[in-house]
Each structure stands twice: as C-alpha cells, then as structure tokens.
A and B are shown apart, each in its own frame.
Chain A
C-alpha cells in the first residue's frame, strides 16, 4: 500500500513536471473523461431509476418530510428530506441512510438554518404522495416507483427531479477496487478516497425553459450552452494560466447556482456542494433551427421546449434548494435569504483602482500618484502586488523598496487616497518567518494524508497552506491584520487575496492534492470552499482592526456561494485582447445573477500589451462595470493612463470622470444589492422578463433598472446596435439627452470617445458633477439630479447617503434614503427611511429634466414653508429643462413645482 503510494507520487510528479507546471494549456486540465467520477456518472444514461421510495418510512413533522429511498439494484438505502422554506423555496436533501462514515455537508455558506414552513399532506396512495407547498396552488408530488419529484403549479409542471432516472449515489465502501486505482494513476490528480468512490448525481427537468444562466465561473456566454457532445460545465476552483474563452472549463471560482428563465417564470437551482462538480445541460430545442421552432409553433405540434440539467459532484451529499421565483427579483431575494447579500463596500472601493504587477517601490508609488494629479485623472486606490513583500512573505515589506510603508500610506492619506496590498494564502516555509512559525506551531496548516504539513510550490517557493476551514485558524489569521501585527499597515490600507483556489504550482491541475486533509475532511470534499474562507477571514480581520467600525474591502480571485458577503471578485488573469474585453460582460453578468455584484475584469487585460484603442475601450467599458481596476502583468510595458499621448489621456480621463460623476448612483445600487440581493449589473431580461429578444443578450447590460450600457467592444468600431427594451418606453442618451423609443434596435454611430449609455424614461439618477481627485474629496459635494420623464411624464428615483465607510448605516441607522419622484409637474423628495438619521452638508446643485416642456415658472418649496422661485433654462431642441441652483439640503423634504 505504502509502496503503491510512493510509485503513485513519482508518477504524479513526473506527469506534472513533464507537462510543465506553468505554461499551462487545455491539456493540463481534466476533461470529464479524465475525471474518473465524471466519466462513470456520465456513462449512466437516462432511463428507469433504480431508486424506489419506501412510502411506509414517510415521516412528516412541522418542519420537514423524511422518506427512505432504496436502490433496487444494490439495496442501499438513502434518506430523503424535504423542506418547504419560507419565501417560496423547496429544499431537497438526500444522504445515505447509514453511511460508513459521515459524508460532508457544506458549512458556513448558508447564513442561517433556513426557516421552514409546514408541509401538508394532500393525498397518499401506494404510488406516491402529494404535498401542498402552501399558497399559489403549488404541489410537490413524490412518486414512489421509480422515485421522482415533481413540483407543480396548478396543472403545470415547474420542475422535476430524477425524471430521467439519473439519481446516483455511490455509497461509501471499504476500498477494494484496485482497477479504479490504476485508472487514477493514469489520470494524475485524482487521489483516491480511502472509502472508495463517493460521487453523487441528480437530474432536473425544466419544462417550458429554453434559457438557463449562472454556474460561474466560466469564460462563456451569458446564456449557458447545451453540453451534448462536449464537456459539461465544470465547477472546480483552479488557477488557469491564460484561460481560453467560450468553453466550459473550470476557472478560479465556483458558484453552483443555476437560474432558469422563460417569459412565464424565473427559477433557481442551488446545488450546495463544494466538491468538484460537473453540470450537463441539454435541451430539446437546442438542435432545432428557428424555422423548425416556428413550424412547431404554427402547427401547435410537438413537445413544449424543455431543458434538462444534470449535476454531478465527487463527494458530499445532495442538498438542493429550488427557488421557485416566480420573478427574477424573487429569485434574487430567495437566494439572498439563503447565502446573504453583497457586502456593502466603502464608497471609495467603487471608484477607480490603479494596479500593476508591480509598483516597484515607494518612489514609484509616489510618482504614479503624482502622475494622476498632473494629468487630472481621479483615482482612489493604488495596489501593490507580490513584489512589495520581503521575499513573498505576506504581511511584510521589502526592506529596500518599501522601507517606510507608513510614510507612503500617509502620503496617500494626505491626498485622501488608499492602498491595497496583496496577502495570499500560501505561506513561505521559512523558520525565520513569524507567520509560518506560528501557523506551524499552532498546527494550523492543511495536512497531507500522512499527517504532516502539506507543502507545495507557489510564489515564495516551498509553501504551507493554512487551513482556513478551521475557525480557530481564521480567528488567528484575522488577528494578523491588527495594526500592531501587520507592521506598516494603516487604516487606508486594504487587502487582496489572490491564488486562493488554492494555487499550488506543482499540484495536480495547479491546485491542492485532493487527499490533503482539512481536519477530518479531505480537500476533495470542500475544495471549492477554500477561497471563500480565505476572504472571509481576511474581511473579518479588517473589521476587527477597526474595532468593528469600518467596512472592509477585500478582493478575491477564488469564490463560492456566499462569497458575496466578503467583498469583491475579479475575473482573474485575462488577456489584452478584444475578445477578453467582450467576455467581461457575460462573466460579470453571470456572477451578478448568483449574488456576486462586485465584479470586474482587469482593465487593459492582464497578459500581453493592449493596443491603445483596446485600452481606451476597456477603460470606457470598465467605467461602467462594478469593480473598476486596471491591472497588468509584470512583463508588459507600463500603461498608466498618460503614457499614450494627450488625446488618449483625455479619453481615459473622460471615462474615469464619468465613473466618478455617477458614484452616487453606483453607491445606491450597492446599497440595494446589500439590502435586498438585487444585482447591480443586470442582463436585460431581468428587467424585461417577457421580452424574449433580450434573453440571450450579453453585449449590453443594465446598471440597476435605469441605465443601459452598450460599450464599444469592437476594434475599429464605427457604430453599435443597441437594443432599447420596453414597448411604450423611452430612453435618453445620457450624453446628448436625445430621446429614443423603446423596443427597437438602435444603430448608434460612435467615435473613439463614445460610450453609449441610456437613461430610462421614468427614472431619476443622482450624480455629482464636481469630479475631484478621489471620491473622498467629493464627499460633501452637491448633487445634480437627472430626471428622465416617461411618456406619461412621470419619473422616480432614490438618493442614498451615508458616511461612506463605516457600519453606522446598519448599526445606528445613520443614513439618508429618499424617494425622488416626479408626477403632476412636481418633483419631490420624501424620506424613505423614517427611522434613520444622518446629516449631510451636500445640497441639490442642479436639476436636469429630460423630455420636459417649458414651464412659466418653477417654485421650490421647503419644509419651513418658504417658497423660492428658481431660475431655469430650457433647451427646446432637446426638451431639456435645467433648474438653476435649488440649493436645498439633500437630506430634507422639498418639492419643486413647475407651472
């Protein structure tokens, strides 16, 4: 046995080294065929399920229904638990009735034990049972032989489980199957589990559904493709070097949540499993031509469209949350009620970030900071990558390049700017390194299967990997961010967690061996959770160092369901190519749909050097995506915004300034994302769920409900065709104020300075027109309100204001949240949160009303009973009314009446 393992390791190392650990390509990552459990599971074809429900074991309590299932082939019994959850969700749990040892159940992802609602038994016979799911005439039908579940609404099947008979549960056994082992030697990376194969699988059928989304992270289109004839979408956190586009390969993060959408209903499937997972998608309409589909429709013939989905995971249990919608908003709320909402970032984190691997030393940082001022380009954060450390020992500084970090940070603070330093989870094995010694002495490292500290190669050379699944380890890690522990840190310094898949250069598929041990569990069981825990512990550290007062900001590369609670995510090491610019849209849209709103791609592209045009277009696109950070590889030429001649500097400056002017709206969107789980960056179908034309669109997007962005992502682009949704609606070009009708494809000629953005008629968007060198400098500045009238001369919006960086908005209700509405020729501001209080010096500088007619006079009424006439300008050609200087404080009630 031992000798077998030695041979195995030798083979493994040989395979890894021969293939080259760094110049990774597709061949270094497994296909389903090369992943033994995926291949086994996929070999199982749809048919009659061997599972049968033992109705006599049925137990119904207040909170759940339990029922045993038996596999008629091997007589192994499973335990099914069904829960009706509050908020229109159903949870289905299936585990072995008597596993040889406990199977892994994912902790720390759900924010609480989801509150249940009682299920009631409507009818029962020998074929099955019918349960009521509460209101909306929803039923859950449990069929006994073969076992299947159907969720119905009225006479309509919403979703079926195991209808194709693909429920499979490899029960734990004493291992004896050496053939399996040999197979695994041939496919290195699959380290054999001591209790034999343990994979699970279940199929879901979605009648009436042609569009499914989500399950990030993949560099693919927004609408998921069918996987027939190809590989399934893979969810397994990996450090993929120079990833390719438009394929289902795994990337840095994994969120096992899929949304289905049709004009009638939106639903979600949350497969709570942190092991390596593959998702197959097939569709009965996918192969059909548009003509064929139309023929079906006209003839009223044929089957309804249907999408079938199958989830396969390597270990753990089946624990599925079925979010029944019915609207997209409902699904977002349902998912948020399970895993929490987006962390509300400090306002400055929504501004522009300047990063590079690497800013070389303190002088370099000072020079870049100065460069932004010289060229009058705002920025809030400058970032330091791994080279800032003393030999890749995180929490330290290179003594020659960064001898006085506090002086540097103070210099930034004097400009009201901030810094991010990188802290990765691989720890240099070095007995003179305090962090390493403490982790080792406390036994906090991940262990190898023989009980020693697991070691692998990463940036510092030989490294240990702290076991972030251990709460004690996380508490200790968090304490390392205290100002007296992290020498040279200050309150304007925040954190970046990279390489937390984790990346192990000499590991199988550049990650950790699956038999590495986190306490009693193998990495195999919880692999996809590691990155979440790293960010969780880091964010906790930033909160603690401020005594719980300040909001943290932590960027992570690896993530899992729930990661949204801890900060921002970026799409990893992309490339300076046009296709990568384009893919940033669907990649962030997909993340937004499953809770992670704070998403961005490296502006300019990480690998390679962008053309000037690409760089400019990327800034223009990034300025309208949630996380806005430029980043570049060490080996690329410098690309600070002013290095490409004055014209391009001006173009980039303008893009960044548009971002800053719009920060009040961004902040408000993030408040909503935090408050109710609604995504910040949305596909059009989320707001126009019945407009089938929008269902596959991923070259344009909405910010909140009210801004539609169609960035130019074509090289040499002379024009874009934007789809403006909404029959009977209007949209206003935010730059020219020109009005366009909804429900049309609009061709917009563009120049290199164009960023096509439209405001929805019927909305009010607050901006700050005084763009300064950082967002903090703009804190007390006045607001300009852009009121875009609907055809019925109505508009509504909000204004959210707080201190921008503490938890006081939450703990002490210190914020301003106001409803702005325009109706009956009057614009008013009313308090939306009567229990809150906050004082702002900001005032209303200007009100711009789009689609207005010329009034004879405009009167401002304030709560003290005063009435003031406002001066105004009216541009008849564009129907734009500009009210001059209302001057009223942004936090009070007021009304402007037009006559």
Chain B
C-alpha cells in the first residue's frame, strides 16, 4: 500500500517550490496529449468510459479500468501502456509490464522508479547519437540522391543510345536484306554475278533520267565493271538503293513468312519507318520464351553467341536481321525489358557483379541475373537464386529484390535470396546471412534507392518533445 504514495508523482514538490508552475502536473505515465483526462481531485472516468473511479485510484497499483487507463504509471493492468517523455531523445510508449521490471526501457529512467534497478539517464546521449547518425544518414542521402540523379540521367542516355543503336542495327540489317533480295532478283541467270544486262532493265536507276539506261551508264553504276559479285555489289547497292524498285518484293517475302506473322503487321513493317513501334509487339514474345529457360540461355550466350537451332520464327528473323544481330538484338531487347525502376536508376547495375567475402564464402550478387556463393577454400559454386522480381512492400517496391529457383536443398526448398537495398553512396554488398535454411538475406547499398532528402531540421526536431 505504501508504494501507492510514491506513484502519484511528478515533480510536485518542485512545482510548488518554485511557484512558477506553468507546466500542469500529470500522473506518472500519462502523455501530454491525454493530460486533460486526468484531473486531480475529480473522479476519473476510464478512457473507454467503462467506469468512473475516485481519483486516488489512478496509479494506485490496482487495475480498475478494463482498458488499463487508470494505471498509466504502474504494471497493474495487463493491457496498459506507459509514456516516457525521454527529454532530449524521443518520447515513447512501453507496455505497462515493463514498469519496474528491473530493466531500463525508458532512456529517462522513469519506468524503473521502484524496482531497485539502477538506470542511467541516457536520453541526451542517445539524442546526440541519433542526431549524429541522422546527420550522417542525411549527408549520405543527399550525396546519394545526387548520384542517383546522375544515374537516372545516364540511364536515360544509355537507354536512348541503346534504342538508337537498336534502330540502327535493324535498319542496317533490313538494308542488307533488301540488298540480298535485289541481288537475287537481278541475277537472272543465277550465275552469282549481276551483269550490265541484268541491271539495265531497271530504268529507275537512270542517272540522267533520260528514260533509257545505257550500257555505259549501267557499267558506271557497276563501278566500271561488266559484272559484279556479291561483295562488290555492296558498293553498287549503296549507290542505287535509293532508286531501286523491287520487281517481286511481296512474292519473295511470302516464301518466308509464317501465316500468323503475315496476318499481323508484317507488310507495313517492311516498307515503313514505324519499325520501332511494331517491334514492341515482338519484344513480348521474346520475353516469354526467355522466362522459361532463363539460365539455360545464359549459359548458351556465354558459350556461343551465334546460336543455331532456331525455330521457324527465328529462322525467318535470322534472314531479316542476319545471324550476327540475333545475339546483340536479343540482349538489347532483354535489357530494355527489365524493370530498372521508375527512372531506370537501377539500370547501371545490369551486367555488373558485386562480391562480399566472409570467413567461409565469397558471395556474389549480379543484379538482375543471379546470386551465388563460393567456398573460399575450394569447392564449387552454389546458385543461391536467379533474378525473380522486385519484392519490397507495396509502398516501397524497389527496396527489395528476390532471387529464387536456386540450387535445391536436401529435404528442403530451392535456395533463394532476398536482397535488401539501402541508400548509400557506394554500390556494395554489406552483409549476407542465412536466417532460415536455404533462405539467404543480402544487404546491399546503392545510391539508386536514395530518396530526396527531407530538410535536416525536420528530421532532427520532428520527434522530440520538450
């Protein structure tokens, strides 16, 4: 019973002594915001309204209110909470069960007023430390955010470059195809040469536009030769391609075109300039193919970029693009297909790898590709997961990456890795762990997740009471 006296505290003596009691007293454990409900000498009504009790039963170490509101400063109510002001740091609520349990929970020591525990007031120290670390964080965020802008800029340029490059590649390949078609068309006798006679029928090529293409004119077009083979024809083609009219273009294409392709957008494709737009449709197809055998393909790519054994569609494409293009184009397509973040700020991670060496293993993160683990002292590499998807919470999707379908575990699941991204100036893997068997966690810092810094003042002063 005697402790009840202790309980109704607050610096009553101090307040009376100074006479300058601007601050209105409140019972132990009550936050400023609820002060008005605890009026001394007036009956107290439980905050849930369930009952009304004399004020001397507030904080008398017996739970009268169902919601625990009569005992904000004791451990009497199982569902109560205690408010520590923590001047110098940030205020907090702790469960009532932590009052006088011998463990210092509030940095201002107010939770341990009768347990014999010796607590030090650490609020100022914690506040200082927090401010320091917030400051450091803020600086990192600031610099990181600048770096991020750069990354976004580079990514944009990179993306444009890639698109231009892709367009250019396609254009070149298309041109080559037309050239080949023209050559075949022109080489009437199929002797592997285009002769003056064979070219002469194309009046549209007449340099002086007098309605006739003379032998000399024709020979001029052929670089002074009587006939040219395929390699020399390239030079000829560059001169004539703008004027050249195909004789049988539709016929030639039909022989190579699968039905469904034709029904789509092929015709317009062939003679128009909106190729990039149409191309978008094809890109999806490619993506679909790839998802099935991601890893397998990766292997192939490394071993031999000039892939053989394509299906009918690919065969057709190889004719259009030329085999050399396939690898480049597909990679370009794939890269463009990744979700590199709202402003492509993660694009710079693509085709990079980052390593972390621990006591036993070297961990390797290749963003958008795979995570692996290799024993430091010999032994083969273990696949800890292939790129799956962004896996952060709804409001922060790009804060986590998920890599799954790694090597299987004995009697367990396939290995998988979650990569947690935090803001940092540098791009580096900072830690790895295996919290559950075969489920890895990797921490990774990158400027790409740095948010626009809030004003530092706001960060530092937003939370402290007093």
At the interface, yes or no: A195 with Cβ under 8 Å from chain B?
Answer: no
What are the interface flags for B73-87 relative to A under an 8 Å C-beta threshold, 1 for contact and 0 otherwise? 001101000000000
Query: Which of A361, A770, A845 has the most chain B CB atoms inside 10 A of its CB?
Result: A770
- Chain B nearest Cβ from A359, distance in angstroms: 10
Query: Is there an interface contact between B1 and A773, defined as CB atoms closer than 8 Å?
Result: no
* Chain B positions 336-374 with a Cβ under 8 Å from a chain A Cβ: 358-360
Interface of A is mostly: loop
A637 and B439 contact, Cβ closer than 8 Å, known pairs A360-B433, A400-B359, A885-B62: yes
Query: Which of B95, B101, B358, B433 has the most chain A CB atoms inside 10 A of its CB?
Result: B101
- Chain A nearest Cβ from B404, distance in angstroms: 14
Which of B1, B97, B103, B433 is within 8 Å of A771, CB to CB? B97
Query: Is there an interface contact between A637 and B101, defined as CB atoms closer than 8 Å?
Result: no
Across-interface contacts of A770 in B (CB, < 8 A): 75-76, 78, 97
What are the interface flags for A596-613 relative to B under an 8 Å C-beta threshold, 1 for contact and 0 otherwise? 000000000000000000
- Chain B nearest Cβ from A847, distance in angstroms: 12
* Chain A positions 774-797 with a Cβ under 8 Å from a chain B Cβ: 776-778, 781
Which of B76, B101, B409, B439 is within 8 Å of A772, CB to CB? B101
A364 to B60, CA, bound (A): 40
Query: Is there an interface contact between B75 and A634, defined as CB atoms closer than 8 Å?
Result: no
A637 to B102, CA, bound (A): 34
A652 to B6, CA, bound (A): 35
At the interface, yes or no: A884 with Cβ under 8 Å from chain B?
Answer: yes
- Smallest CB gap from A400: residue in B: B359
Query: Is there an interface contact between B437 and A360, defined as CB atoms closer than 8 Å?
Result: no
A295 to B209, CA, bound (A): 126
Query: Is there an interface contact between B98 and A773, defined as CB atoms closer than 8 Å?
Result: yes
A416 to B117, CA, bound (A): 12
At the interface, yes or no: B435 with Cβ under 8 Å from chain A?
Answer: yes
A469 to B411, CA, bound (A): 38
At the interface, yes or no: B436 with Cβ under 8 Å from chain A?
Answer: yes
A777 to B103, CA, bound (A): 8
At the interface, yes or no: B412 with Cβ under 8 Å from chain A?
Answer: yes
Query: Is there an interface contact between A777 and B435, defined as CB atoms closer than 8 Å?
Result: no
Across-interface contacts of B160 in A (CB, < 8 A): none
A638 and B97 contact, Cβ closer than 8 Å, known pairs A416-B103, A770-B76, A887-B1: no
Which of A363, A416, A884 is within 8 Å of B62, CB to CB? A884
A637 to B62, CA, bound (A): 43
Query: Is there an interface contact between B75 and A781, defined as CB atoms closer than 8 Å?
Result: yes
At the interface, yes or no: B434 with Cβ under 8 Å from chain A?
Answer: yes
Across-interface contacts of A776 in B (CB, < 8 A): 102
- Chain A nearest Cβ from B263, distance in angstroms: 50
Across-interface contacts of B98 in A (CB, < 8 A): 772-773
At the interface, yes or no: A635 with Cβ under 8 Å from chain B?
Answer: yes
At the interface, yes or no: B377 with Cβ under 8 Å from chain A?
Answer: no
Which of B62, B95, B409, B412 is within 8 Å of A845, CB to CB? B62
- Smallest CB gap from B412: residue in A: A635
Which of A363, A364, A637, A845 is within 8 Å of B437, CB to CB? A637
A364 and B101 contact, Cβ closer than 8 Å, known pairs A770-B78, A781-B75, A884-B62: no
Which of B102, B359, B436, B439 is within 8 Å of A777, CB to CB? B102
Query: Is there an interface contact between B103 and A415, defined as CB atoms closer than 8 Å?
Result: yes
* Chain A positions 809-863 with a Cβ under 8 Å from a chain B Cβ: 845-846
- Chain A nearest Cβ from B62, distance in angstroms: 4
- Chain A nearest Cβ from B430, distance in angstroms: 13
Query: Is there an interface contact between B435 and A360, defined as CB atoms closer than 8 Å?
Result: yes
Query: Which of B76, B78, B103, B413 has the most chain A CB atoms inside 10 A of its CB?
Result: B103
Query: Is there an interface contact between A360 and B411, defined as CB atoms closer than 8 Å?
Result: no
At the interface, yes or no: B251 with Cβ under 8 Å from chain A?
Answer: no
Query: Is there an interface contact between B435 and A638, defined as CB atoms closer than 8 Å?
Result: yes
What are the interface flags for A408-436 relative to B under an 8 Å C-beta threshold, 1 for contact and 0 otherwise? 00000011100000000000000000000
What are the interface flags for A866-887 relative to B under an 8 Å C-beta threshold, 1 for contact and 0 otherwise? 0000000000000000001101
Query: Is there an interface contact between B437 and A772, defined as CB atoms closer than 8 Å?
Result: no
Across-interface contacts of B439 in A (CB, < 8 A): 637-638
A414 and B434 contact, Cβ closer than 8 Å, known pairs A635-B410, A773-B98: no
A638 and B436 contact, Cβ closer than 8 Å, known pairs A770-B97, A772-B101, A773-B97: yes
Query: Is there an interface contact between A637 and B436, defined as CB atoms closer than 8 Å?
Result: yes
Query: Is there an interface contact between A635 and B103, defined as CB atoms closer than 8 Å?
Result: no
A756 to B385, CA, bound (A): 46
Query: Is there an interface contact between B433 and A376, defined as CB atoms closer than 8 Å?
Result: no
A846 to B64, CA, bound (A): 11
Query: Is there an interface contact between B435 and A771, defined as CB atoms closer than 8 Å?
Result: no
- Chain A nearest Cβ from B53, distance in angstroms: 10
What are the interface flags for B384-413 relative to A under an 8 Å C-beta threshold, 1 for contact and 0 otherwise? 000000000000000000000000011111
Query: Is there an interface contact between A777 and B437, defined as CB atoms closer than 8 Å?
Result: no
At the interface, yes or no: A32 with Cβ under 8 Å from chain B?
Answer: no
Query: Is there an interface contact between A376 and B412, defined as CB atoms closer than 8 Å?
Result: no
- Chain A nearest Cβ from B124, distance in angstroms: 21
- Smallest CB gap from A356: residue in B: B436
At the interface, yes or no: A127 with Cβ under 8 Å from chain B?
Answer: no
- Smallest CB gap from B62: residue in A: A885
- Chain A nearest Cβ from B165, distance in angstroms: 46
At the interface, yes or no: A187 with Cβ under 8 Å from chain B?
Answer: no
A634 to B101, CA, bound (A): 34
- Chain A nearest Cβ from B346, distance in angstroms: 28
- Chain A nearest Cβ from B35, distance in angstroms: 26
At the interface, yes or no: A769 with Cβ under 8 Å from chain B?
Answer: yes
A414 and B103 contact, Cβ closer than 8 Å, known pairs A771-B97, A781-B75: yes
Query: Is there an interface contact between A634 and B437, defined as CB atoms closer than 8 Å?
Result: yes
A376 to B436, CA, bound (A): 22
Query: Is there an interface contact between A771 and B359, defined as CB atoms closer than 8 Å?
Result: no
Across-interface contacts of A885 in B (CB, < 8 A): 60, 62
Across-interface contacts of A415 in B (CB, < 8 A): 103
Query: Which of B76, B97, B433 has the most chain A CB atoms inside 10 A of its CB?
Result: B97
At the interface, yes or no: A745 with Cβ under 8 Å from chain B?
Answer: no
Across-interface contacts of B409 in A (CB, < 8 A): 635
- Smallest CB gap from B95: residue in A: A376
Across-interface contacts of A637 in B (CB, < 8 A): 413, 436-437, 439
Across-interface contacts of B75 in A (CB, < 8 A): 770, 772, 781
* Chain B positions 412-450 with a Cβ under 8 Å from a chain A Cβ: 412-413, 433-439
Across-interface contacts of A845 in B (CB, < 8 A): 62, 76
Across-interface contacts of B1 in A (CB, < 8 A): 887
What are the interface flags for A339-369 relative to B under an 8 Å C-beta threshold, 1 for contact and 0 otherwise? 0000000000000000000001101100000
Across-interface contacts of A636 in B (CB, < 8 A): 412, 436-437
What are the interface flags for B85-108 relative to A under an 8 Å C-beta threshold, 1 for contact and 0 otherwise? 000000000010110011100000
A360 to B435, CA, bound (A): 7
A773 to B78, CA, bound (A): 12
- Smallest CB gap from B1: residue in A: A887
What are the interface flags for B48-79 relative to A under an 8 Å C-beta threshold, 1 for contact and 0 otherwise? 00000000000010100000000000011010
- Chain A nearest Cβ from B432, distance in angstroms: 11
Query: Is there an interface contact between A360 and B101, defined as CB atoms closer than 8 Å?
Result: no
Query: Is there an interface contact between B97 and A772, defined as CB atoms closer than 8 Å?
Result: yes
- Chain A nearest Cβ from B90, distance in angstroms: 17
Across-interface contacts of A778 in B (CB, < 8 A): 101
- Chain A nearest Cβ from B350, distance in angstroms: 31
- Smallest CB gap from B434: residue in A: A360
- Chain A nearest Cβ from B102, distance in angstroms: 6
- Chain B nearest Cβ from A574, distance in angstroms: 16
Across-interface contacts of A769 in B (CB, < 8 A): 78
A692 to B95, CA, bound (A): 49
Across-interface contacts of A400 in B (CB, < 8 A): 358-360
A360 to B78, CA, bound (A): 33
Query: Which of B358, B411, B439 has the most chain A CB atoms inside 10 A of its CB?
Result: B411
A376 to B101, CA, bound (A): 14
Given contacts A416-B103, A635-B411, A776-B102, 7 further A-B contacts (CB under 8 A): A376-B97, A638-B435, A769-B78, A773-B98, A777-B103, A778-B101, A885-B60
Q: List 6 A-B contacts (CB under 8 A).
A: A364-B433, A400-B358, A416-B101, A635-B438, A777-B97, A777-B102
List the 9 closest pairs (A to B, CB-CB), nearest first. A777-B101, A638-B436, A885-B62, A400-B359, A635-B412, A772-B97, A635-B437, A772-B101, A887-B1
